[in-house]
Amino acid sequence: MAITRVMGLDPGSETTGYGIIDTDGVKHIVVEYGAIRSRAGMTFADKLLNIATRLETIIERVHPEAFAIEETFYAVNVKTAIKLGHVRGAAIVAAARTGITISEYSPLEIKSAIVGYGRAEKHQIQEMVRIILKMKDLPQPHDAADALAVAICHIHHNATLKRYNKSGSH
């Protein structure tokens, strides 16, 4: 069976988590994960440029076939939601420039795919990511664990779509 490389992204203006997984649909192997951090004192425009540039560099280096990103969720603070939207936009443009397939998943879809419960907490997601990916330690920071969860969600979603299309149920 062919191996697919999936990159997951948990966008944030201060810390953007990323995770890359190789999968054959059954077995998942962590390639790399981490966080893109903004330096103190950076303007918001510089933070966006930093995120986009670093993502382009990572994508060019690891060559994922798919890019999955968390959708903006409802935020009490409108200013925070707008900033997150800008970060997502910069990340999506960076991925689109490389020509890879881009998919978006809601926090509810991601948590349901990983934990089986849409209101799961951060530590539950981290632990399930560790178990699913057979990692010795919890992936840190939690932004990177969330990004790996986005990638796993994408893998599960695609597997379900393939089964559905194969069955001729459409």
Along the 170 residues of the chain, how does pLDDT read in single tens digits? 688 999 999 999 899 999 999 999 889 999 999 999 999 899 999 999 999 999 999 999 999 999 999 997 766 788 888 999 999 999 999 999 999 999 999 999 999 999 988 888 889 999 999 999 999 999 999 999 999 999 999 999 886 667 666 766 55
- pLDDT recorded at residue 164: 64
CATH at residue 121: 3.30.420.10
Domain span at 59: 4-167
Closest CA to 1 of 155, 110, 157: 155
Beta-carbon contacts of residue 125 (< 8 Å; ≥ 6 apart):
110, 111, 114, 115, 142, 145, 146, 149
- pLDDT recorded at residue 160: 67
Q: Tell whether omega for the bond before 141 is within 30 degrees of 0, i.e. cis.
A: yes
Q: How many domains does the chain have?
A: 1
- pLDDT recorded at residue 79: 87
Pairing of strands 4-10, 15-23: antiparallel
DSSP string, 17-64: EEEEEEESSS-EEEEEEEEEEPPTT--HHHHHHHHHHHHHHHHHHH--
Region of 41 please: left (phi>0), alpha (psi -120 to 50) or beta: left
Query: What are the residue numbers of the active site?
Result: 10, 70, 143
* Token duo for residue 115: 């934990």
Consecutive H or E run containing 138: none
